[in-house]
Amino acid sequence: MKAWLQRVGARLLVFLHDMLMIPAAWGLAYWMRFNLAYVPPEFIDEAINTLPLVVMVLGSVYWAFGLYRGVWRFASLNDLTQILRAVLVGTTLLLFLLFALNRMAFIPRSLPVLFVIFQLLLLAGPRLLYRRLKDRRLDFSGGDRVLIVGAGRSGEMLARDLLRDRHCGYVPVAFVDDKPRRQGGLMHGIPIRGTTADIPRLVDRCGIDLILLAVPSASAPQMRRLVELCESAGRPFRTVPQTRELMAGRVAVNQLRPVSIEDLLGRDQVTLDWEGIQRGLEGRVVLVSGAGGSIGSELCRQLRRCRPRKLILVDHAEFNLYRIETELAECADPPSLSRHLADVTNAGAIGGLFERLRPDVVFHAAAYKHVPMLEDQGLAALHNNVIGTLVVASAADAWGCERFVLISTDKAVNPSNVMGASKRFAELVCQNVQTRSRCRFMTVRFGNVLGSAGSVVPRFQRQIERGGPVTVTHPDIERFFMTIPEACQLIMQAAVIGEGGETFVLDMGQPVKIRYLAEQMIRLSGREPGREVQIEYTGLRPGEKLFEELFYQTEDLVDTPHPRIQVARRTETLTPDGLASALRDLRLALEAQDERGAMSVLQGIVPDWRTSPSAIERA
């Protein structure tokens, strides 16, 4: 009730202000018409006699145009436009009424124009002055002096928010922007003093304490350049959220955060055919194996947007499954969920699950993926990655699934480790099932994802927190990287454009040296690599390559409707009988715990696998 009374009181005050401005504008228009000198009595009498009509007409039009729904504190260009419309419509209506009453006697022809001008000045002026006084701090002491990089829309909003909140502790004193037309200008009274190349110079010249990066649409190379300039200036820096986060409504411009490694290594925002993805997945029963893992859990979050009829979560890790189920169940628009603690290698459990729930679309993300560990755990790798894929793929075929998507890896191309070879074997399994199935089987192949469980980024973070050293295996080792959300979105896109039998290769951009990744993460922590935190090179681990590849040289890359996705087509094929025989031999070797026999089967089915010394010794 109190809030309602305050709101009504504020609107009443604004209304009374405007009612006083109408006679003031009416009188000033007459006075100006006579050059601010003597006004003949007959004109004064006419002005007084028509004043009640003027106030009634203009006041009614102002109210009808909603001039009292706006808040003076946030008066904007839209408010000024609305005032202009109300003034023009109200004055026009008034002139028609005055003409009908007395043919506009004793109303000079210049009076309507002057009346419009004074209305605009007296209505808009106080609103803008009030906002100006509120936005500008009268006391700049006690706050960090801020340089804002980017004088676009985000920079303007950020500066406005900082000026508005006198208790935030930040005082914007300058902008920099690379657009020539903005140089030398003012925004909210703050000068644009140069380009981004001037950041180091302006930091000293203006006494800057903090640099704020207001360029949410900056590409990774642009962000890397800005970070280097900020580091050379020797001042802390923060950034506004990225464009995709702002558009999704998850954050606001004034929610500043440290620059992340994703900002430096990410790529341009992925543009998806969300309409097509939703058509392909909406109303379907979707199963995700490995739903609690890094890829699987993000895939579930993205799938929720497509409104599936039911989302089936399968994982053998109890806590991971609990965590993603709880997260999805507690979101604003929870999907219909079904969660199952199951091992994908258990044919009975998986077959029974498919029989009961009849999924339409399957995303098979369950896999062992840690390269050095799997080098001496070959039996476990083959059991989970190959037999697990066979079990789930066979169930999808037997129970009439529409689509099956295998999540693969760049390590499956010319593999040098057991993990990559096992994933290549899994790709061949899906291709084999496709030849005799009505289900559309497809494979999606991509490289490392930033921040996934067991990946290099969390390990570097832990090492930096301990003060180092940060361990890199080789100075020249490099990998492809993409963010987990981007990978999952492209997986979904591939799932709906696939016709069956394809191996989709995601555009991973340019590879990144792991040394560079380590150096940037150290710098982002506020320390200097090689001086405050050391980098040590430990030598390549078992099964590790210097460079990864996304496709075989014998594969032809064919474009798809999506520019970030291509199809890898290979000319040579493996006969169904040959694969079936290899699978039988693999099962026998696994049952007998015969690692040498299992590795022999793997070598035969993936002849380009270059076994590591450890794998040979184990076999």
Helix, coil or strand: residue 144? strand
Q: What is the mean pLDDT of residues 56-66?
A: 82
Residue 454: the pLDDT is 57
- Cα angle 407, 413, 418 (rounded to 5 degrees) comes to 80
* Per-residue model confidence as pLDDT tens digits over 244-267: 444 444 434 445 666 666 666 655
CA 377 – CA 336 distance, rounded (Å): 37
Residue 612: the pLDDT is 53
Give backbone dihedrals phi and psi of 387, rounded to 5 degrees, phi first.
-65, -40
Lowest mean pLDDT among 40-54, 262-276, 285-299, 591-605: 262-276
368 vs 233: which has the higher pLDDT: 368
* Per-residue model confidence as pLDDT tens digits over 488-497: 888 888 888 8
With 60 as the cut, is the pLDDT of residue 168 above it?
A: yes
Q: What is the mean pLDDT of residues 197-212?
A: 87
Helix, coil or strand: residue 285? strand
458 vs 351: which has the higher pLDDT: 351
* Per-residue model confidence as pLDDT tens digits over 423-469: 999 999 998 898 888 999 999 988 777 666 556 777 888 888 888 89
CA 361 – CA 287 distance, rounded (Å): 6
Cα Rg of the chain (Å, integer) = 34
State how far Cα 582 lies from the chain centre. 44
Q: Specify the pTM.
A: 0.66
Nearest to 384 by CA among 317, 321, 331: 317
**Percent of the chain having pLDDT more than 70?**
85
**Domains in the chain: ranges and CATH:** 2-135 (no CATH), 144-259 (3.40.50.720), 281-449+481-510+548-605 (3.40.50.720)
